[in-house]
Structure 1
Amino acid sequence: MKKYILSILLTLFLGATYAQRGGERYDPEKLKAAKVAYITTRLDLNANQAEKFWPIYNEFNDKREAMIREMAELNNRRDIQLSEEEAKVRITKKFEIQQKLLNEEKLFVDKVSKVISYNQIFLLNGLSRDFARYIYQRQRKDRQ
């Protein structure tokens, strides 16, 4: 029953997300709420788990996104000619960021394993990607 209610809420949030608002294609707050509903439903989190899970997840996700942006900046402008030394520095920096990302993920798993099961953590791994895919498919469907 809980899954059905959350699915309905998710659908309502997603429907509202696509409403035009000031020329934007989506409302970031509504999209975030839809993602929370999607992940909460898929992980089958109870209220107590969700209350403890989301602050840990949000902190990790913010750090993760910052590191991904940093790596993207290193890869920007690949068309310019780099000296061998500059290319080496960028590659080394990329490896450092990837190691830092791995370390952060290990810390996240350690923290969140006190709140949810390892099976739920394992499922979480692909849920953000699944949510993005779901949004993309809905957008394509709405355009047609």
Structure 2
Amino acid sequence: MKKAGLIILMVGLSLSLFAQSGKLSDEKRKEFEAQKIAFFTQEMELTPEEAVVFWPLYNEMQQKMRVENDKIRALTCKKEKTAPVTTEEQAKKNLKTVLDAEQAAWNIKKEYTDRLLKVLPAKKVWLMFEAEQKFRHQLWKKMENKPVPVPR
């Protein structure tokens, strides 16, 4: 129980760091990542031996998925004043790009789930999925209470 309280405190601190600026400095990002590692390790009940094999695979998966998600964000998160009027042809191209990126992200998740299942019990891989949801939920909950900066 004591460990759970410490993990929650660490996640709370990391979420407040993120919410303060909207973007993380390198120092804050490292602190945030350390807290994410602690949260996942606790939630997944990873042994030190399991953590050694899990984290390189998980980080590799996240990096590949980030590339695909960046493709989507590049199209869907443009600032209003710089976004050109979308033509029918551009809309079709954008839809294909987004769907291809989502499919690629799904393929990456499937590939790495299969790879993780070779080195971890299925229960711990499942707990990873749950930890991702819990961590994301806590992040959103924390961000709900912070004002959103207005883009200029």
Q: CA deviation at 1:45?
A: 0.7
Q: CA deviation at 1:69?
A: 1.7
Name the counterpart of 1:88.
Answer: 92
Take 1:84 and 1:139, find their aligned partners in 2: how far apart are those partners? 35
Is 1:108 the counterpart of 2:109? The answer is no
Post-superposition Cα deviations, 1:58-109, rounded to whole Å, max 9, x if no partner, equal 0001111221121011123476421111111110111111111111111101
Name the counterpart of 2:65.
Answer: 64
Are 1:13 and 1:30, in contact at CA under 8 Å, matched by a contact in 2?
A: no
Are 1:9 and 1:37, in contact at CA under 8 Å, matched by a contact in 2?
A: no
Which residue type is aligned with residue 87 of structure 1? Answer: A
Are 2:44 and 2:128, in contact at CA under 8 Å, matched by a contact in 1?
A: yes
Are 2:15 and 2:139, in contact at CA under 8 Å, matched by a contact in 1?
A: no
Are 2:11 and 2:39, in contact at CA under 8 Å, matched by a contact in 1?
A: no
Which residue type is aligned with residue 10 of structure 1? Answer: I
Is 1:39 the counterpart of 2:40? The answer is yes
In structure 2, runs of 5+ residues without a counterpart are 146-152
Take 2:21 and 2:93, find their aligned partners in 1: how far apart are those partners? 38
Name the counterpart of 1:122.
Answer: 126
Name the counterpart of 2:149.
Answer: none
Are 2:16 and 2:142, in contact at CA under 8 Å, matched by a contact in 1?
A: no
Match of 1:10 among 7, 11, 23: 7
Take 2:55 and 2:122, find their aligned partners in 1: how far apart are those partners? 16
Are 1:67 and 1:101, in contact at CA under 8 Å, matched by a contact in 2?
A: yes
Which residue type is aligned with residue 127 of structure 1? Answer: A
Are 2:72 and 2:98, in contact at CA under 8 Å, matched by a contact in 1?
A: yes
Higher relative contact order (CA 8 A, sep 6+): 2
SS in 1 for 2:120: coil
Are 1:71 and 1:97, in contact at CA under 8 Å, matched by a contact in 2?
A: yes
Fraction of identical pairs, as percent: 21
Are 1:56 and 1:112, in contact at CA under 8 Å, matched by a contact in 2?
A: yes
Shift in alpha-carbon separation, 1:73–1:44, aligned structure 2, 3 A: same
Take 2:104 and 2:35, find their aligned partners in 1: how far apart are those partners? 29
Which residue type is aligned with residue 45 of structure 1? Answer: L
Shift in alpha-carbon separation, 1:108–1:68, aligned structure 2, 3 A: same
Take 1:19 and 1:89, find their aligned partners in 2: how far apart are those partners? 38
Worse-superposed segment, 129-138 or 79-88: 129-138
